[in-house]
Structure formats: structure tokens, C-alpha cells
């Protein structure tokens, strides 16, 4: 069991059973829908960034410097943050896993793009598989549906997934439901929807797309926490 807190867009925290706090894709202060979140209260031991786009890292530097958390991302993104004075950082690349004190993290494929806000090369975009003794899950990052997601279901036993569902820039609900099925996920938390006009979605219809495949789609309100 772990506790997920949704901070809007594709940003969420997961507090593991051992107390370790993982924070993914911090983008809070520029998000009008997340205006009630006080980022000074957002804790992190590790900040994991899927790819270089602004809507996944706008608040990362501030949170990393305040908390002293370790950054985990691809080599190019870690190098970019190192240049901003972030010293605690762990670079990865696709297909590679690493055993952190809290569990194993694998950086996996995503089909998307990944330039950094100043135009620097953000490497290739990815997602994460997190496997801990108490809780294992897949974070898709921004991605299209892709058949490598079948490999996740073949070789990992996961408790839940955090999947982009907003369509237009990423998978929409029907493709994300297929990804969940392929990855062997029965519970999915939807992210990357409603923040901007092209990614506003019908929540009931989205849940219906997942239900068709036997997957429960959870859409916690911004600021809410759920146990998974």
C-alpha cells in the first residue's frame, strides 16, 4: 500500500510504506487549477521527471533546492539541472533500472518529444516502473499507446498505473485503457487532462472506456490523497 496525492496536471506524490516520498513531474505554480496547492508544503525525498517539457518540471528546481531531494531522470535532464546547481541527482536511460534504498526504478519507453524550456536537448521522453516490497506501479509519462507496454504486463506485477489520458498531446482515454490492459493494471490514476483547452475530457466517458476493459479509472480531485 502507498498513498498517492494528486497535485494537478501530471504532478503527483507517492508516499511509500517505508515513509519515502516520491514526487513526479512537478508543475504546480503555473497551473491555475492547482492554485490552492501550497508548494512549500509539498515534500519530496526523490523528484522523478519523465521528460523535459515545462509542464513536467516548472517547479522542480525550487522543490529540489528546498527539500534537498534527489533528482531522478534521464541523463540529459539531470545534466541540465546539474548546471543549475542541483547536486543530488541520479541519471538513467531507457531500459535501465537501479536499486534505490526504497526499491527499484526502471526508466522505460515513451513515444513523445522532450526539449527543455530553454531549447536544450531533453533526451528522449520516458516513463517509470517503480517496484518496492509494498507497492509497485507504472508511470507512463506523456506517451502514445505503444506495444512495448505489453512487455510491462509480461514481466512486472503492478498494483496500479498513473497514465496520461488527456488526448491531443498524449494517449486519450480509450488508448490509455488499452495501455492499462497491456500493462496488467487493474487500477489507473488518470493525469495530464483538463489543464488546457485541448485536453479537457469527459470524466464519465473516460471512466467508461476503462471499465470496458475491466480497469478502474481514478480521478482524484487536485489536493486529494488516495491509498493504492
53 binds Ni ion (CB under 5 A): yes
Query: Per this entry, what is the length of the chain?
Result: 228
CA dist 194 and 161 (Å) reads 19
Nearest approach in angstroms of CB 125 to Ni ion is 7
25 binds Mn ion (CB under 5 A): no
How many chain residues touch Mn ion (CB under 5 A)? 3
Q: Which residues does residue 160 pair with via DSSP β-bridges, in sequence order?
A: 137
- The residue (of 29 and 168) whose beta carbon lies closer to Ni ion is 168
How many chain residues touch Ni ion (CB under 5 A)? 2
| Per-residue binder mask for Ni ion (CB under 5 A), 81-100, x = binder | --------------------
> E strand or H helix at 175, and its extent?
helix 173-183
CA dist 50 and 30 (Å) reads 18
CA dist 219 and 226 (Å) reads 10
CA dist 226 and 8 (Å) reads 14
Q: Measured at CB, which residue is nearest to Ni ion?
A: 53
Residue 120 DSSP SS3:
coil
Nearest approach in angstroms of CB 115 to Ni ion is 9
CB distance 104 to 97 below 8 Å: yes
167 binds Ni ion (CB under 5 A): no
142 binds Ni ion (CB under 5 A): yes
CA distances from 149 to 83, 110, 136, 144, 183 (A): 33, 9, 15, 10, 6
21 binds Ni ion (CB under 5 A): no
Residue 179 DSSP SS3:
helix
Please choose, out of 51-59, 71-79, 88-96, 153-161, the segment that lies near Ni ion by the rule CB under 5 A. 51-59
CA dist 46 and 171 (Å) reads 26
Nearest approach in angstroms of CB 97 to Mn ion is 24
Which residue of 142, 159, 181, 194 would you call a contact of Mn ion, by CB under 5 A? 142
Which residue of 55, 76, 131, 194 would you call a contact of Mn ion, by CB under 5 A? 55
Nearest approach in angstroms of CB 117 to Mn ion is 12
Nearest approach in angstroms of CB 51 to Ni ion is 6
Binding region for Ni ion (CB under 5 A):
53, 142
Binding region for Mn ion (CB under 5 A):
53, 55, 142
Amino acid at each position: 500500500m502507498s498513498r498517492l496525492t494528486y497535485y494537478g496536471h501530471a504532478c503527483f506524490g507517492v508516499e511509500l510504506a517505508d515513509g519515502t516520498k516520491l514526487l513526479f513531474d512537478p508543475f504546480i505554480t503555473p497551473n491555475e487549477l492547482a492554485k490552492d496547492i501550497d508548494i512549500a508544503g509539498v515534500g519530496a525525498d526523490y523528484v522523478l521527471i519523465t521528460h523535459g517539457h515545462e509542464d513536467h518540471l516548472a517547479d522542480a528546481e525550487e522543490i529540489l533546492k528546498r527539500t534537498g531531494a534527489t533528482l531522478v531522470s534521464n541523463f540529459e535532464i539531470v545534466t541540465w539541472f546539474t548546471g543549475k546547481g542541483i547536486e543530488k541527482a541520479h541519471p538513467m536511460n531507457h531500459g535501465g533500472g537501479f536499486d534505490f534504498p526504497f526499491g527499484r526504478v526502471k526508466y522505460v519507453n515513451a513515444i513523445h518529444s522532450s526539449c527543455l524550456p530553454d531549447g536544450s536537448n531533453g533526451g528522449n521522453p520516458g516513463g517509470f516502473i517503480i517496484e518496492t516490497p509494498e507497492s509497485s506501479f507504472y508511470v507512463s509519462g506523456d506517451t502514445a499507446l505503444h506495444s512495448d507496454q505489453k512487455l510491462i504486463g509480461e514481466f512486472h506485477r503492478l498494483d496500479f498505473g498513473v497514465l496520461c489520458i488527456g488526448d491531443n498531446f498524449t494517449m486519450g482515454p480509450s488508448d490509455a485503457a488499452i495501455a492499462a490492459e497491456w500493462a496488467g493494471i487493474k487500477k489507473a490514476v488518470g493525469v495530464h487532462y483538463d489543464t488546457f483547452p485541448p485536453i479537457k475530457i469527459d470524466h464519465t466517458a473516460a471512466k467508461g472506456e476503462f471499465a470496458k476493459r475491466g480497469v478502474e479509472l481514478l480521478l482524484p480531485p487536485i489536493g486529494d490523497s488516495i491509498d493504492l
